[in-house]
Homo-oligomer: A and B are copies of this chain.
Amino acid sequence: MGMKTLGRHLVVEMYGCRSDLLGDLSLARKSLNEAVEACKATFMGEHYTMFPGGGVSGVIIIAESHISIHTWPEHGYIAIDIFTCGEHIDPWKAYEVFVKNYSPSRVNVMEIRRGVVEV
């Protein structure tokens, strides 16, 4: 009996982003949808929220788990999670979309293996 991993989860921290981009709900929505397309995931549903302080939150549920974004314009900071399962999905393709759209000056990414199970 062997082991396999069901999913991969990129925990992405982006710093030094332009504040005006981080308050832009349509950019967040565009980025999430582009990210889903880039990694060839399957869109299932989405939800977005804008906050009084100017930050935005968004998540897309994909057939392969989820991709989410939360922004803090006052800190130039974005928290992104790219959680995908399945062997044909490359979460790093989704990651590249956010780098392109937000041009962070500093990034920290942790890749976590989710669901280590017996097969």
> CB-nearest residue of chain B relative to A118?
B75
| Cβ contact within 8 Å between B59 and A61 | yes
Q: Is the CB of A81 within 8 A of B79?
A: no
What is the distance, in angstroms, from A51's C-beta to the closest C-beta of chain B?
Answer: 7
Q: Which of A31-39, A63-71, A87-95 contacts B (4 or more CB under 8 A)?
A: A63-71
A114 surroundings in chain B (CB, below 8 A): 11, 13, 79
List, in ascending order, chain B residues with CB within 8 A of A117's CB: 15, 72, 75, 77
Instruction: Tell me the A residues contacting B by CB distance below 8 Å.
Output: 6-7, 9, 11, 13, 15, 44-49, 51, 57-59, 61, 63, 65-66, 68, 70, 72, 75, 77, 79, 81, 83, 85, 110, 112, 114-117
